Chain A
Amino acid sequence: MKDLAEAARLALKMITSGDPVLYATTLRTLLISATATALSSLFFIPAGAFLYFSSFPGKKLVTEVVRTLYGIPTVLVGMLVFLAVSRTGPLGNLGLLFTPAAIAIGEAILVAPIITGLTFSALRTGGHELAETALSLGAGRWTAVLKVLSEKRQVLLTTVLVAFGRAVSEVGIAVMVGGNIAGYTRTLTTSIVLAVGKGEVARSIALGMVLLLLALSVNVTLTFLDPERNR
């Protein structure tokens, strides 16, 4: 127990003294996860809107499948992306394996169902009404959808932050397609795996604290954005 207290003290020191590796890893993790979330939002907020506004046979099934995929195991996504971007895979010639871009792509896929599903849910309260209002004011179909999304921007931002939270905390994809290369594809979560395996207690705790701090700041932002949330 005394060792643990000592390690926690060292961890705090690492954070406060600006340990360069810790900070570089944090920055890299933020960059990768933010890229993944932005990339996924770009495609799947529109996908969620499409799912809401369109009607086709099997729509309910698709919605259910999307919801089920909220909890898709990260190692499964990691494995699929690995097979796709490995040299012998269909996207092999892009040379993406063991790069930060590969992690970002994997995480983008990971959060795609969350973004699609939560966008869909967000529109369910008043989406059609808003669209009809926009249409009656002379907007075209696409402009009307954009108008609705813009009206719902607060909920959509929440969606994006939830997705970011999932991306930043996953480890399966980062290890498998990133390879945990020091200074290049090493993220907070993969660093923790390595540090625990090495028995580097202080470093593990420091990394864990930073990761928790990131999750906390996402949560605080969410509460700030939506004061109703905690009532």
Chain B
Amino acid sequence: MVRYATIVIGILTLSSCAPGPGENIEKNTVAQTESVDARLRVATTTSLYDTGLWNVLEPLFEEKYGMELDVLYAGTGKALEWGERGDVDVLTIHDRSREETFVERGLGLERIPFAYNHFLIVGPPDDPAGIGGLSPEEAFTRLHGMAGPVFVSRGDDSGTHSREKSIWISAGLDYDDVRTSGDWYVEGGNGMGPTLVMADQMRAYTLSDVGTFLSYGNDLDLVPLVDSGNALLNVYSAIIVSGTDNMDGAEALVEFLLSDEGQELLGRYGVDEYGTSLFHPCGGEEPDQP
């Protein structure tokens, strides 16, 4: 019995420490002998994850700093929750007011903007609601209360969802009324990519960051209809979680994002594939243009 238990515990330990083959072929093997705590965990918004950006950043960072990076994706709300619980070391998210609250509460060290892009209101190419070229607030007002499934909301407390709420509010509507006012408003509860797929299938409108939209664009009929207005600026920030037990790793990741190499990579990401970059680097400063 004891021997059997030893084997089982052995397997358990093995499966918790050894990275799988294949995906990790080029990863640093040092991590295999280190404890689980040596891994650095970054919680990233689904809008960053779904663009595939971390597939590029992760191996570069791991090679340069010789540590294992675990990328976890979730809406900003869930990422903040993980941060508050101390389950992740760094957040890369996009909801300024909640980020500032997080830092004010002493849960995070500092809010460091590292890149930005824009939100878009996207919809069916024939634009049945005729919102093309309107301001975000005018567009939302027009969509409000139309028949059928018209607007797909993230509905997941994410940064994009927060932004959507604030546009409803600046359009002079009460968000709870909007949310419960009928079948036209669909709460998907999914990440950015799946939400775009859902809106596409329903021939409905949704709010998306430009990065995810471009990386999903080829597979979707949706087109961007509203792409300008102050309400559409989308800033991504990094925050180190105060209670992290991997401060060195967390600082290294922020340093990497702000480094010349990291910033150049951010600014170039997507150019080859989509003809335009998905992000604009902003080197730790708040971008001042809309």
Q: Which residues of A contact B (CB under 8 A)?
A: 20-21, 23-25, 27-28, 31-32, 34-35, 38-39, 42, 86-88, 92, 95-101, 104, 179-185, 197-199
* In contact, A86 and B20 (Cβ under 8 angstroms): no
| B5 proximal to A (CB < 8 A) | yes
* In contact, B23 and A104 (Cβ under 8 angstroms): no
Interface size class on chain B is 35 or more
> Which residues of chain A are near B12, meaning CB under 8 Å?
35, 39, 101, 104
> Which residues of chain B are near A23, meaning CB under 8 Å?
21-22
Q: For the complex, what is the distance from the CA of A149 to the CA of B207, rounded to whole Å?
A: 60
> Which residues of chain B are near A182, meaning CB under 8 Å?
23, 55, 58, 71
Q: Which residue in B15, B21, B22, B71 is a CB contact (below 8 Å) of A100?
A: B15
Q: For the complex, what is the distance from the CA of A92 to the CA of B245, rounded to whole Å?
A: 13
| B70 proximal to A (CB < 8 A) | yes
A-B contact pairs, 16 of them (CB 8 A): A20-B22, A24-B21, A32-B15, A39-B8, A42-B4, A86-B87, A87-B85, A96-B36, A97-B87, A100-B15, A182-B23, A184-B20, A197-B193, A198-B193, A199-B197, A199-B216
* In contact, A27 and B21 (Cβ under 8 angstroms): yes
Distance from B79 Cβ to chain A, minimum over Cβ atoms (Å): 11
**Chain B minimum-CB-distance residue to A24:** B22
| B111 proximal to A (CB < 8 A) | no
Given A31-B15, A179-B70, A98–B219 Cβ distance below 8 Å?
Answer: no
From A28, A96, A182, residue with most partner B Cβ within 10 Å: A182
Q: For the complex, what is the distance from the CA of A34 to the CA of B12, rounded to whole Å?
A: 10
Which 5 pairs show the lowest CB-CB distances between chains A and B? A24-B22, A183-B23, A87-B86, A20-B22, A101-B16
* In contact, A87 and B87 (Cβ under 8 angstroms): yes
> Which residues of chain B are near A101, meaning CB under 8 Å?
12-13, 15-16, 36
Other contacts beyond A20-B22, A92-B86: 6, CB < 8 A? A27-B21, A28-B20, A31-B14, A86-B87, A183-B20, A198-B193
Q: For the complex, what is the distance from the CA of A128 to the CA of B80, rounded to whole Å?
A: 56
* In contact, B15 and A88 (Cβ under 8 angstroms): no
Give the contacts of B218-275 with A (CB-CB under 8 A): 219, 243
Given A31-B15, A42-B4, A183-B20, A98–B87 Cβ distance below 8 Å?
Answer: yes
Q: Tell me the dominant secondary structure on chain A's binding face.
A: helix
Given A95-B37, A98-B41, A182-B71, A21–B23 Cβ distance below 8 Å?
Answer: yes
Given A101-B15, A104-B15, A197-B194, A184–B70 Cβ distance below 8 Å?
Answer: yes
Given A21-B23, A35-B8, A97-B87, A179–B72 Cβ distance below 8 Å?
Answer: yes
Given A87-B85, A180-B73, A38–B11 Cβ distance below 8 Å?
Answer: yes
Q: For the complex, what is the distance from the CA of A118 to the CA of B12, rounded to whole Å?
A: 24
**Chain A minimum-CB-distance residue to B244:** A87
Q: For the complex, what is the distance from the CA of A21 to the CA of B55, rounded to whole Å?
A: 13
* In contact, A35 and B23 (Cβ under 8 angstroms): no
Contact with A along B1-44 (1 / 0, CB 8 A): 00011011001111110011111110100000000110001000
> Which residues of chain A are near B24, meaning CB under 8 Å?
24, 183-184
Q: For the complex, what is the distance from the CA of A28 to the CA of B19, rounded to whole Å?
A: 9
Distance from A48 Cβ to chain B, minimum over Cβ atoms (Å): 16
